[in-house]
Chain A
Amino acid sequence: MTGGLRGPRAIVIGGSAGSLDALGVMLPALPAQLDAAVVVTLHLPREQPSLLCDIFRHRCALQVREAQDKEPLTPGTIFFAPPDYHLLVDAGPSLALSIDPPLHFSRPSIDVLFESAADVYGPALTALLLSGANADGARGLAVVQRMGGIACVQAPASAGAPAMPEAALALITPDHVLMPAQMAPLLNQLHQGRVS
Chain B
Amino acid sequence: MPHTRKTADIEQQLLVEAIYRRYHYDFRGYAQASLKRRLHTALTHFNCKTISQLQHLVLHESTVFPALLQYLTVQVSEMFRDPEYFRGLREKVVPILRTYPSLKIWVAGCSAGEEVYSLAILLREEGLLERSLIYATDINASALQKAEAGVYDIDRVPGFTENHARSGGHTSLSEHYSAAYGRVVFDKSLRRHIVFSDHSLATDSVFAEVQLISCRNVLIYFDRQLQDRALALFHESLCRRGFLGLGSKESLRFSSHAAQFDEFVPGQRIYQKRGEA
Contact = CB atoms under 8 A, between A and B. Distances in A.
A122 B1 CA distance: 8
B254 interface: yes
A101 B37 CA distance: 12
Contacts of A97: 220, 249
A100 B249 contact: no
Given A69-B251, A146-B1, A112 B37 contact: yes
A26 B82 CA distance: 32
Contacts of A122: 1-2, 5
B76 interface: yes
Given A68-B251, A99-B76, A91 B32 contact: yes
Given A69-B250, A69-B251, A70-B254, A98 B1 contact: no
Interface in B49-82: 75-77
Contacts of B227: 70
A99 B5 CA distance: 25
Given A69-B220, A70-B254, A146-B1, A96 B76 contact: no
B37 A88 contact: yes
Interface in A95-136: 96-101, 112, 115-116, 119-120, 122
B249 A69 contact: yes
Interface string A51-91: 00000000000000000111100000000001001101111
Interface string A134-172: 000000000000111000000000000000000000000
Contacts of A71: 254
B36 interface: yes
Interface in A180-194: none
Contacts of A70: 224, 227, 254
A129 to B, nearest CB: 19
B249 A119 contact: no
Nearest to B218: A99
Nearest to B82: A84
Contacts of B254: 68-71
Contacts of A100: 34, 37-38, 75-76
Contacts of B250: 69
Nearest to B216: A99
Interface string B240-255: 0000000111110110
**Closest 4 pairs between A and B when the two form their complex, measured CB to CB:** A90-B33, A88-B33, A98-B34, A116-B33
Interface of A: 68-71, 82, 85-86, 88-91, 96-101, 112, 115-116, 119-120, 122, 146-148
19 contacts: A68-B249, A68-B251, A68-B254, A82-B248, A85-B220, A96-B31, A96-B220, A97-B220, A98-B34, A98-B37, A99-B76, A99-B220, A100-B34, A100-B75, A101-B76, A146-B1, A147-B5, A148-B1, A148-B2
